Amino acid sequence: MALDTVNRTVNLALCILALTACSTNERAPESYSVNISPYNHTGDYIHQFYVDGGGGGNSRPYGGGGGFVCCVSFPAEWRPGLSAHVKWTTSSGNPNDMSPEAAVEHWHEKTVPIDKYDVQGGMLNVHFLPRGEARLIISNKGAGAKDYPGPAYPVKPSN
């Protein structure tokens, strides 16, 4: 009878340990949803943009940040080769240009690598660059902030 009590006690202790182990080892998330913030480094007006299907619009020439749209999901940990599909439409950012060509929207589309990140969450900063280029940065900071890992805040050239 003493051996039976010992076996029950040991089994009960093992069950409690197993339950405790399950409840204290929460699994880290595999991905995070982040807001998107555009930065337009061009003289064109960006009507709309999409990053892996999530997006927004109305990004004025040489401006951006501050406005966020929801959401895109990315892995919790960066890995080499990580990229996203970016699609955006532009037209002339010059309000005085009344030519028919200025009103035409031009679509741009490309797969863009995502800069290495080590934050969990944050926001996706989309930098629209000259010559139809784009750069994607996941960070807790925006362009212009100290230690921001990407391009400076867009500035209109003085010419």
**Closest C-alpha to 119, from 86, 80, 149, 85:** 149
The answer to whether residue 157 sits within a structural domain is no
What's the CATH code of the domain at 73?
2.60.40
The answer to whether residue 85 sits within a structural domain is yes
Cα 116 from Cα 81, distance rounded (Å): 10
The answer to whether residue 14 sits within a structural domain is no
The answer to whether residue 26 sits within a structural domain is no
Pairing of strands 133-139, 123-129: antiparallel
Would you say the C-alpha torsion 147, 55, 42, 112 has a positive or negative sign?
A: positive
The answer to whether residue 159 sits within a structural domain is no
The answer to whether residue 2 sits within a structural domain is no
Pairing of strands 63-64, 31-40: antiparallel
Q: Range with the lowest mean pLDDT among 112-116, 150-154, 155-159?
A: 155-159
The answer to whether residue 116 sits within a structural domain is yes
The boundaries of the domain holding residue 88 are 31-139
**Total number of domains constituting the chain:** 1
Degrees to nearest 5, angle at CA 130 with 154 and 156 = 35
In this prediction, residue 28 carries a pLDDT of 57
The answer to whether residue 55 sits within a structural domain is yes
Residues 56-72 pLDDT 10s: 888 999 998 766 677 88
Residues 30-58 pLDDT 10s: 888 889 999 999 999 999 999 998 888 88
